[in-house]
Structure 1
Amino acid sequence: MNFHLFQIINGAAGAHDPVDDLLEWAAIWLIFVMAALTLVPGRTVLRVGGWTVLARVGLALLLAVGIGQAVGHLNHEPRPFQAHEVHQLIPHANDVSMPSDHATAAFALAFAVTMFLSRRWGAVLTFLALAVGFARVWTGVHYPGDILAGALIGAAAVAIVLVGERLLSRRSAPAKATPTSGINR
């Protein structure tokens, strides 16, 4: 199924040069545009002293990239162009395919912005993350499953930051007074 879906997407590559050029650009550079766009809703947050919000986004991104690297070291799946005849439109190292680092970072940014900054802006970034993932498959350097793994890792990293934040806030919250047996001391 993973390879079949890859063939459907990558099979269309090479037919229309302007489409290929756009998707080659997206496969390489759109992640950097997304990082810059993350700061757009963050500007408003910074004006009111919300450095911690951007720190959460950054932490989720770093955590996702770290998890992605760990998964990559455990995985030995070759890239599509190493195992099959494909339309490879961009150069890439002959390392493991899963997960896609670009997709991991893109989805981590999108989901973190959704949870910590702005749902509307997060939806825009999620659309762009999908475009990054699609472009990585179109250009022949990843399977669709690699993109899905990146999205799941990004979501997991954001969830870990959320859970960690809630645990820390519970620990630092003042203890609630408990009712005594009615005896004044």
Structure 2
Amino acid sequence: MNYHLFALVNGWAGSHDPIDDLFEWAATWLIFVMAALTVVPGRVLIRPGARTVPLRVGASLVLALGIGQAVGRLAHEPRPFQTHVVHQLIPHAADASMPSDHATVAFALAVAVWVFLSRPWGIALTVLATVIGFARVWTGVHYPGDIAAGALIGAAAVTLIVTGERLARRVRESRRASSP
């Protein structure tokens, strides 16, 4: 099914040059726009004294990339262009396909902004992350499952950060309550 979804999306690639150009740009450069859109509203929306937001977003990114690297080593799936005839529109190394690093970072940023900073900005970034994921499939460098895995890893990393914060808060409260 993963290949069939890939073939459905990638099968349209190479037919319409302006659309290909748009998705080539999105697959390569939109991640940098997302990063800028994370920083700019963050500077505006973070209240004075709320310095933990950038740390939480950064921790989410680092954790997501670490999990993604571990998954990539455990499930070394070849890229579509290594095993099939595809419309590969952008160059890419023949390394592990699963999970997509672009999708992992994009969805980790989107979910982290949604949870730690601003729901509307998080929704907007989730739309951009989805476009990046679609573009990575369109350009022939990832399967849809690679994108889904990156999205899940990005969301899981943010969830782990939130869970860790809650656990740390409970431990601190428990220690305060037991102190004389």
Q: TM-score scaled to structure 2, two decimals?
A: 0.95
Give, in angstroms, the shift of residue 76 of structure 1: 1.9
| Cα distance change, pair 22–8 in 1 and its aligned pair in 2 (3 A) | same
1:19 aligned residue: 19
1:181 aligned residue: none
Give, in angstroms, the shift of residue 47 of structure 1: 4.7
The reply to whether residue 169 of structure 1 matches residue 169 of structure 2 is yes
1:65 aligned residue: 65
Say whether the 8 Å CA contact 1:45–1:51 is kept in structure 2.
no
Say whether the 8 Å CA contact 2:65–2:101 is kept in structure 1.
yes
Provide the C-alpha distance between the structure 1 equivalents of 2:119 and 2:41, rounded to a whole number of angstroms: 10
Give, in angstroms, the shift of residue 134 of structure 1: 0.1
Give, in angstroms, the shift of residue 49 of structure 1: 2.1
SS at match of 2:176: coil
SS at match of 2:52: helix
SS at match of 1:102: helix
2:146 aligned residue: 146
Aligned residue pairs, count: 177
Give, in angstroms, the shift of residue 169 of structure 1: 1.3
Unpaired runs of at least 5, structure 1: 178-185
Give, in angstroms, the shift of residue 60 of structure 1: 0.2
Letter paired with 1:6: F
1:42 aligned residue: 42
Provide the C-alpha distance between the structure 1 equivalents of 2:44 and 2:38, rounded to a whole number of angstroms: 11
Considering only CA atoms, is the larger Rg found in Structure 1 or Structure 2?
Answer: 1
The reply to whether residue 121 of structure 1 matches residue 121 of structure 2 is yes
Residues 128-143 of structure 1 mapped to structure 2, 5 A cutoff: 128-143=128-143
Letter paired with 2:71: V
Give, in angstroms, the shift of residue 45 of structure 1: 4.2
Identity of aligned residues (%): 69
Greater CA drift, 23-32 or 38-47: 38-47
Q: TM-score scaled to structure 1, two decimals?
A: 0.92
Please tell me the root mean square deviation across aligned C-alpha atoms, in Å. 1.2
Unpaired runs of at least 5, structure 2: none
SS at match of 1:98: coil
Residues 32-111 of structure 1 mapped to structure 2, 5 A cutoff: 32-111=32-111
2:160 aligned residue: 160
